[in-house]
Amino acid sequence: MSEYHLSRIFYNDRREMKKLDALLAQEGIERDANLHYTIGLYDDDYHLAATGSCFANTLRCMAVDSSHQGEGLLNQIVSHLIQYEFEQNITSLFLYTKYDKALFFRDLGFYEIARADGKVVFMENRRNGFSSYLENLKKETAVQLEALSPAGNLPVGAVVMNANPFTLGHLHLLATAAAACSLLHVFVVSEDASLVPFDVRFRLVKEGSSHLKNLVFHQTGSYLISNATFPSYFLKEKDVVIRTHAKLDTAIFGRISQTLGITVRYVGEEPSSQVTGIYNEIMEADLPASGVACRIIPRKTAGPEIISASTVRERIHSGDTESIRGLVPETTLNYFLSDEAADVVEKIRQSDEVRHY
């Protein structure tokens, strides 16, 4: 059996990245676009025998050369990544794995949250992590209810949004849903991978909808999954990636809905985004199994144009921030015209990708 040594792989090291990509490809994995730390285990001849990576609080892109399997190398990789994350003060860890690897990660102290379609299992390193999140949602609801005016004998609903940034289209969705519900739970995606930071997005959603008196606001934490944290590296077809992601998200939301008594989820109609269109299709088909109806609301328009966050970002990107007037609530407009937003505006203008597909 070889002796192995552990070494960090830097993304500007072309030689080592070539080895990394070759190992991943050999094991049927494509390197994920979202990585911030990668390590390798090398044998005596400096061949890359195993690798693993982190992105935010997720472990990903873990692989062992088939000629070195059965030597406990993946255990070493995972143990090192966990230690690295802990040293960064990241103690709540998540991973996605194929069905046939779930038992291995369970033996390393990870617990299943949800699974989808015979392809992917979503796991975390805290036994009571998700149940604690659900309990916190109930507490948040109880606190916010004291200042609300729930509307009559109507169902309890929910909306999940990224709001990057909050537009009149988002507001239309919230107002339509709120009018049909006694209470509306609003989940804002809290993973910070958007051009507009989470704290700003969350604030603008609350400020822009403050006239609606039956809304309860929540962060999604790491449970309602974003595109950035969901790994596509072991699912080759884009359509399969999107569908598996949506099915996991729907399974998790089913448990959230049971905790909060939610019986209807509202989503915006999506004529142009492939990702959101497939999401809507999956939710409409799968949510009823959890006792939740899916209502698709037609998108709000400004003249012939559908209002979208992508359009708002494109206009800011072009340098014409003033032109978003009519597409966003006054609170969102005021933010982008303020000095506070200078760094965010510059980030949008420098971005190569401002449209969501």
- List the structure tokens of 99: 């069905």
What are the residue ranges spanned by the domains of the chain? 5-86, 92-127, 129-350
Q: How confident is the model at residue 238 (pLDDT cuts 50, 70, 90)?
A: low
**Each residue's pLDDT tens digit, 96-148:** 888 888 898 999 999 999 988 777 889 999 999 999 999 999 999 999 988 88
Give a three-class secondary structure readout of 12-41: CCHHHHHHHHHHHHHCCCCCCCCCCEEEEE
Residue-wise pLDDT tens digits, 162-186: 999 999 999 999 999 999 999 999 9
- Token pair of 179 as six digits: 């009018």
Beta strands 48-55 and 58-64, pairing class = antiparallel
DSSP 93: -
Q: What is the pLDDT of residues 185-208, one digit of tens each?
A: 999 998 777 789 999 999 999 999
Q: What is the CATH number of domain 5-86?
A: 3.40.630.30
Q: What is the mean pLDDT of residues 249-268?
A: 94
- What's the rounded Cα separation, in Å, for the pair 259 and 84? 34
pLDDT of 335 over the 60 cut: yes
Instruction: Name the DSSP class of 56.
Output: T
pLDDT in tens, 282-311: 999 999 999 999 999 998 888 888 888 989
Q: Assess contact for 196 and 165: CB atoms under 8 A.
A: yes
Residue 230 has pLDDT above 60, yes or no: no
Fold of the domain built from segment(s) 129-350:
Rossmann fold (3.40.50)
| Cα(28)–Cα(23) distance, integer angstroms | 9
Residue 234's pLDDT is 47
For residue 157, give Cα distances in angstroms to 161, 229, 266: 14, 26, 7
Helices (H), strands (E): how many in the chain? 11, 14
